[in-house]
Amino acid sequence: MRKLVSVGVLAAGVALAAAGVAAAAGGGFAPPPAHSPNVHHTNIAYWTVFGFTAFIFLLVETTLVVFIWRYRSRGRARTDEGNQLHGHTRLELIWTVIPVVILAIIASVVFLELPGIRTSAADASTALTITVEGHMFYWQFDYPNGSRSINELHVPVNRDVDLRVVSADVVHNWWIPQLEGKIQAIPGRINHTWFKADKEGTYYGQCALICGVYHALMKATVVVEPEADYQAFISGGAAAGLGKAEWQGVCATCHGMQGQGGFGPALSSNSILAQQRALEAIVRNGRGQMPPVGNTWTAAQINALARYAKTHIYKGASTSGG
């Protein structure tokens, strides 16, 4: 009876742990729905492997419980010998052949799907090429017309998008689970990935490689929209919201949304926000523990940040004497 209670407690613990995993961040065991060709191929391979492993797990655990119950001691002394079995050729052949067949099926599916996962767009001549640049701790996107955005990438629906993935400092990892697989952003090297979103909407991702103290906040958003909305964004929307995006996506990570301080010092009363040249020097070169977050920024970016910080963050120099 004690064994049955122990098994029941163990099973309940496993069930609770599984439920916790499934509830974490709305994730669960299943990959998110695919909205790009590469992810469709990845998900097919995932579900094939998951299906076999889940079946084997249930088979083994069910058999284990049945055997524990069937061959329980029934009051026999612990020193009593049970019935001895001396080989079973058919059974041994079965448990050798079945795993080989399962592995062969998994390998076949994987090798059929892998060739469909490409690193470049199907039609490079019509693909939209965008540069994804990783920084500590944000993503910067460069569009063909020279526009830039921070942490929010805008693309048109049903169009091949070729991404040039680079890094300005350390190794990062670009990943939007519903659109494409992981690709590393490595300093001094250009890596490529692509996607073709089949549905309008907002897709979320995050740096998938620990890159520093604020790695967990290095998130990314891909906005998939009609072609007209995309053109409107890169023609004027990106520039109009650039200063705010830079503050919220870069500066606020350490200094707070209102410059109230956090990991970095409070800035709302620091006169440096009203001095563009001093602000530019710190952003481009860093200071102390602060990395050079804007070492690849254009003059337009510096101007946008300076205007936004002076207008919306700076509250005037402190008069408290502290």
| DSSP sequence for 14-50 | HHHHHHHHHHGGG--SSPPPP-SHHHHHHHHHHHHHH
Window from 31-45, 46-60, 72-86, 232-246 with minimum mean pLDDT = 72-86
pLDDT at residue 215, rounded to an integer:
87
Q: Are residues 253 and 204 in the same domain?
A: no
pLDDT of 241 > 50? The answer is yes
Residue 151 counted as domain residue: yes
Residue 308 counted as domain residue: yes
The whole-number average pLDDT for the span 272-286 is 88
pLDDT at residue 270, rounded to an integer:
86
Q: Are residues 203 and 278 in the same domain?
A: no
Category of 259 on φ-ψ map: left (φ > 0), alpha (ψ -120 to 50) or beta: left
**Phi, then psi, of 72 in degrees rounded to 5:** -65, 165
| Of the candidates 142, 212, 144, 201, the residue with the CA atom closest to the CA atom of residue 173 | 212
pLDDT at residue 62, rounded to an integer:
94
Amino acid at 264: G
For 145-267, strand residue ranges (E) read 148-150, 152-156, 161-167, 172-176, 180-185, 191-195, 201-206, 219-225
pLDDT at residue 213, rounded to an integer:
84
Separation of alpha carbons 226 and 159, rounded Å: 10
Helix (H, G, I), strand (E, B) or coil at 148: strand
- Residue 292 is given by DSSP the state -
Residue 79 counted as domain residue: no
pLDDT of 245 > 90? The answer is yes
Residue 81 counted as domain residue: no
| Of the candidates 45, 166, 62, 48, the residue with the CA atom closest to the CA atom of residue 110 | 45
Residue 24 counted as domain residue: no
| Sheet containing 219-225, strands listed edge to edge, beginning at the edge strand earlier in sequence | 152-156, 219-225, 201-206
Domain CATH for 147:
2.60.40.420
How sure is the predictor about 68, in pLDDT bands with cuts at 50, 70 and 90?
confident
Residue 19 counted as domain residue: no
Q: Are residues 220 and 265 in the same domain?
A: no
Q: Which of 189, 207, 234 is the last residue of a domain?
A: 234
Greatest C-alpha distance within the chain? 90
Position of tokens 């481009």?
284
How many domains would you assign to the chain? 3
Amino acid at 205: G
| Of the candidates 243, 268, 250, the residue with the CA atom closest to the CA atom of residue 258 | 268
pLDDT at residue 322, rounded to an integer:
38
Residue 95 counted as domain residue: yes
Note the pTM of the prediction, 2 decimals.
Answer: 0.78
Q: Which of 181, 207, 234 is the last residue of a domain?
A: 234
How sure is the predictor about 260, in pLDDT bands with cuts at 50, 70 and 90?
confident
Position of tokens 């996962």?
117
Window from 93-102, 264-273, 304-313 with minimum mean pLDDT = 264-273
Separation of alpha carbons 174 and 201, rounded Å: 19
**Residue of 212 and 102 predicted with greater confidence:** 102
Q: Are residues 157 and 228 in the same domain?
A: yes
Residue 175 counted as domain residue: yes
pLDDT at residue 163, rounded to an integer:
94
For 146-203, what is each residue's pLDDT tens digit?
Answer: 999 999 999 999 999 999 999 998 999 999 999 988 899 999 999 999 999 999 999 9
Q: How many CB atoms lie within 10 A of CB 50?
A: 14
| Domain around 285 | 244-313
Structure tokens belonging to residue 228: 């007209």
What is each CA distance from 315 to 56, 246, 266, 281, 302, in whole angstroms? 63, 19, 11, 21, 20
Separation of alpha carbons 233 and 312, rounded Å: 23
**Mean pLDDT, the chain, integer:** 85
pLDDT of 83 > 80? The answer is no
Separation of alpha carbons 208 and 187, rounded Å: 16
Portion of the chain with pLDDT greater than 70, in percent: 87
How sure is the predictor about 321, in pLDDT bands with cuts at 50, 70 and 90?
very low
